Amino acid sequence: MSNRSIVSIADYSREKIQNLLDMAKEFEKAPNRRLLVGKVVATLFFEPSTRTRLSFETAANRLGARVIGFTDPKVTSSSKGETLKDTIKMVSNYADVIVMRHKLEGAALYASEVTDVPIINAGDGSNLHPSQTMLDLYSIYKTQGTLENLNIYMVGDLKYGRTVHSLLMSMRKYNPTFHFIAPKELEMPDEYKLYCKQNGIKYIEQTDFTEDTIADADILYMTRVQRERFTDLMEYERVKDAYILHANMLGKCRENMKILHPLPRVNEIEYDVDDSKHAYYFEQAQNGLYAREALICDVLGITLEDIRNDKTTTL
Amino acid sequence: MEKRKDLVVAALESGTVIDHIPTDKVFTIVQLLQLDKCTDQVTIGNNLESAKFGKKGIIKIANRFFSDAEISQLAVVCPNIRLCIIKDYEVVEKKQVTLPDELDNVVRCANPVCITNNEPMKTVFYVTDKVNGIMKCRYCGKEQHIENIKLV
């Protein structure tokens, strides 16, 4: 019902993306503002996700809103068999915006259809995670100064990695060249390769992950190769160390290259990389705060203009 | 007394004739349109000679006229059947069943972790490729082929 909900950003126009990036930039300059005083933000985590929840709740708090919600569905009525619709309807009576994470795909879209309160999708199963995509875009924009014409290398689990799929789709209007570096079992699914072809996105697939193969990258987007994704554990043992980034692989890389990772990392980025000027994953997580402040404001109808005119910053 | 060699099936005064049904789909349609619960006259013929298809099925239902939603259900099961609407013994309208752009609450999503399989709600599918019969779930985005679908 509400057209201000953010369920997916895959189809956002360049203008809309730029607008959100500019909003995030304002929040980076001054994250603490009183823009949402008197507003209540509900964070409904039907599936636990500490990182995403803390980021959203921090965003809401820094904007002066109050936060209600739950962190674990076991304590809610959904464990008693209440439908998602009923839970959303009930919370809609209390909150001005609902941030929700759910294990079922399409849950956020459905929620947005049963209430007038704007919904922000904080992840629905392996389907979509627009706030992660927004912070990825902001991190790329901030470190490269543009989203245009970049060489983006995606490494690791490209089959199940929802963040790489979302990023791929939302970059389509910016003429990127993708390099997909993954073991055979975890290669980019055909539907996304087809998507690239249909949208004229250039991509190169490779299995080698070496100093030379990443030399032309502007962005190195690392993901975790998880043991449980493999049907053949021999195969896992064979490839598990092949997609680990070491500091000694950064010798030939571009000056502007930045390493992103949605976190949590396990071992796919060696700790010796953390001190490199190319490491950006912790800043990336911090950018999530600004991106989420922008998203919360956007669904509540607060514009870039409003933020620029805002005099409530408490720096 | 000579044995009767045929039974005359009366022409419909008013109702719907569904023609050119593939022989293996006749009873699916019976089920789909809940004709087993229909109290008006229903005539079902199957494995009848057809100039076009070799063999075909045909169903005549007296006094029933189907809504567009019911017809789009039929399209999902067999995309090429034809409906004749009969009034006063005359064919007043012929409807070629075609896949609509959108299927409301007809197809079940094949994805077990789709919200539609876990909430008491209606499904929506967008037909993305009418030629090859590809449809996409509005909610989880998963695509499925018309030959593999299950009805709600």
The residue extents of the domains of chain A are 14-128+288-309, 131-284
A contact set with B (CB within 8 A): 83-85, 102-107, 109-110, 124-127, 191
How much is the pLDDT for A72?
83
Q: Which residues contact A148 (CB under 8 A, 6 or more apart)?
A: A174, A175
pLDDT (average), residues A2-6: 79
Q: A264: cis peptide before it, omega within 30°?
A: yes
CB contact under 8 A, A85 and B119: yes
CB contact under 8 A, A110 and B119: yes
Burial of A232 (0-12, 13-18, 19+ CB in 10 A): exposed
What CATH number belongs to B102-151? 2.30.30.20
**DSSP string for B31-88:** HHTTGGG--S-EEEEEEEEETTTEEEEEEEEET----HHHHHHHHHH-TT-EEEEEET
- Counting as low any pLDDT under 70, the low residues of chain B are 1-2, 4-10
pLDDT (average), residues A29-35: 95
Q: Which residues contact B27 (CB under 8 A, 6 or more apart)?
A: none
| Strand (E) or helix (H) holding A151 | strand A151-155
Nearest to A41 by CA among A115, A92, A116: A92
Indicate where chain B has its CATH 2.30.30.20 domain(s). 102-151
CB contact under 8 A, B115 and A83: no
Q: Is the pLDDT of residue A87 over 70?
A: yes
Which region among A101-110, A139-148, A229-238 has the lowest average model confidence (pLDDT)?
A229-238
Catalytic residue among A16, A29, A51, A227: A51
How much is the pLDDT for B4?
65
* Mean pLDDT (chain A, rounded): 93
Provide the 8-state DSSP code for A104.
Answer: S
How much is the pLDDT for A2?
47
Q: How far is B74 from chain A (nearest CA, A)?
A: 26
How much is the pLDDT for B42?
93
Note the pLDDT tens digit of each residue in A179-231: 999 988 899 999 899 999 999 999 999 999 999 999 999 999 999 888 877 88
Q: What is the pTM of this model?
A: 0.87
What CATH number belongs to B14-96? 3.30.70.140
How much is the pLDDT for A3?
67
Which residues of B are less than 8 Å from A85 in CB distance? 119-121
Cα–Cα distance, B111 to B138 (Å, whole number): 12
What CATH number belongs to A131-284? 3.40.50.1370
CATH superfamily of this structure's domain A14-128+288-309:
Aspartate/ornithine carbamoyltransferase (3.40.50.1370)
Sign of the alpha-carbon dihedral angle for A268, A273, A274, A280? negative
Q: For A78, which residue in chain B has the nearest alpha carbon?
A: B119
Q: A151: which strand partners?
A: A177
**Contact assessment for residue A59 and residue A86, using Cβ atoms and an 8 Å cutoff:** no
Cα–Cα distance, A125 to B113 (Å, whole number): 8
CB contact under 8 A, B141 and A85: no
Quick check: is A308 catalytic? Answer: no
Of A84, A102, A127, nearest to B141 by CB-CB distance is A127
Proportion of chain A above pLDDT 90, given as a percent: 80
Cα–Cα distance, A25 to A277 (Å, whole number): 21
CB contact under 8 A, B139 and A191: no
Quickly count helices (H) and strands (E) in chain A.
Answer: 10, 9
Reported confidence tier of residue A140, pLDDT bands at 50, 70, 90: very high
Cα–Cα distance, B13 to B63 (Å, whole number): 8
How much is the pLDDT for B95?
87
pLDDT (average), residues A139-161: 95
B contact set with A (CB within 8 A): 111, 113-116, 118-121, 137-143
Reported confidence tier of residue A267, pLDDT bands at 50, 70, 90: confident
How much is the pLDDT for A81?
84
How much is the pLDDT for B152?
82
Catalytic residue among A129, A179, A224, A261: A129
The answer to whether the A14-128+288-309 and A131-284 domains have the same CATH topology is: yes
Quick check: is A52 catalytic? Answer: yes
How much is the pLDDT for A1?
42
Proportion of chain A above pLDDT 70, given as a percent: 98
Of B114, B120, B143, nearest to A106 by CB-CB distance is B114
Q: Is the pLDDT of residue A315 over 70?
A: no
Quick check: is A224 catalytic? Answer: no
Quick check: is A252 catalytic? Answer: no
